[in-house]
Amino acid sequence: MAWGNYQFIETTLKDRVLTLALNRPEAGNATNRDLHSELSRVFIEAQHDVDVDIIVLTANGKLFSGGGDIEYLDHMTRDTAEFDRTVAEGRQIVYSMLDCEKPIIGKIQGHAAGLGATLVVMCDITFVADHAKISDPHVKVGLTAGDGGALMWPMLIGYARAKEYLMTGKAIGAKDAERIGLINHAVPLDELDTRVDEFVAELSAGAQMAIRSTKMTVNIGLKQMAHAVMEMGTAMERLTNRSADHRAATSAMLRKESPVFGKG
């Protein structure tokens, strides 16, 4: 398969390892319409490429991803058809990462928020720079955390902790995230490349069919849970996209102000 036909994902295939780097560094790798669309298909294409054994997900620039592009979020408050298309893509991102038999290794060099945080927790194994913070701040813009956070955070750290982070949108540092099991490894930034390379080399030397089938076996429960959680979560996200609180939040953030939410 020929790689390189993505505008906002830099793709590099070397020694059967496919590196996918989010590539909107000037915008903090925030997900706009095109990057979101590309994310919904890149793992499907990677799954079908017979020359790929392992996938490394990372990003260019200081941030892994600042979450959703605010101008795009604001646009979708007025264009429900566009929001519905994005919701369908959001489900596909989650499902395609769960369905991809090949190990997805997160090499997270900076802060990850919103969908960026979901990409982190959807990876099979995660190495995160120890200065980075992870947050799912959907509620801070008046939206339901419906794009995968409500699926993976409880599975990784338990329901009580997950609800605390998802209902407040507050960030967790990489070292604490490692301690409670949200990520695998918090490592110094200058060691990140080496640590990931060493782990990828270990996987590459292993029995690929056994590794893939092990991932798929482990993911059975997650995939069953995903369909229930994602259907509910995205339905609620559609509802909150039309809310006064979400419109107030995107308008305020475009003005670089803090949103003020109503009651109820």
Question: pLDDT digit string (tens) for 98-127?
Answer: 999 999 999 999 999 999 999 999 999 999
pTM above 0.85, yes or no: yes
Distance CA(189)–CA(225), nearest Å, equals 34
Distance CA(48)–CA(67), nearest Å, equals 28
Do 126 and 183 meet the contact criterion of CB atoms below 8 Å apart?
A: yes
Q: Based on DSSP, count helices (H) and strands (E) in the chain, helices before strands.
A: 10, 9
Do 96 and 43 meet the contact criterion of CB atoms below 8 Å apart?
A: yes
The pLDDT of residue 264 is 53
Containing structural domain, residue 147: 9-190
In the predicted structure, residue 71 carries a pLDDT above the cut 70: yes
Angle formed by the axes of helices 115-122 and 80-99, nearest 10°:
20
DSSP label of 142: T
Do 110 and 127 meet the contact criterion of CB atoms below 8 Å apart?
A: no
The pLDDT of residue 263 is 64
Residue 115 falls inside a structural domain: yes
Instruction: Give the CATH number, domain containing residue 152.
Output: 3.90.226.10
The pLDDT of residue 131 is 98
Say if strands 133-135 and 112-113 run parallel, antiparallel, or are unpaired: parallel
Calculate ∠ Cα 182-133-97, nearest 5°: 50
- The arithmetic mean of pLDDT across residues 39-61, rounded, is 97
The pLDDT of residue 31 is 93
| Beta-carbon-side half-sphere exposure of residue 168 (alpha carbons within 13 Å) | 10
Q: What is the DSSP string of 15-53?
A: TTEEEEEE--GGGTT-B-HHHHHHHHHHHHHHHH-TT-S
Residue 201 falls inside a structural domain: no
DSSP label of 141: G
Residue 147 falls inside a structural domain: yes
Do 182 and 199 meet the contact criterion of CB atoms below 8 Å apart?
A: no
The pLDDT of residue 1 is 67
The pLDDT of residue 237 is 87
Residue 56 falls inside a structural domain: yes
Q: Which residue type occupies 63? A: L
Residue 177 falls inside a structural domain: yes
SS3 134: strand
Helix (H) or strand (E) holding 186: strand 185-187
Model pLDDT for residues 75-99, shown as the tens digit of each residue: 888 888 888 898 899 999 999 999 9
In the predicted structure, residue 17 carries a pLDDT above the cut 60: yes
Domains held by the chain: number: 1
Residue 209 falls inside a structural domain: no
- pLDDT, averaged across the chain: 94
Residue 169 falls inside a structural domain: yes
DSSP label of 243: S
For the ranges 8-22, 144-158, 190-204, 243-257, the lowest mean pLDDT is seen at 243-257
Do 185 and 128 meet the contact criterion of CB atoms below 8 Å apart?
A: yes
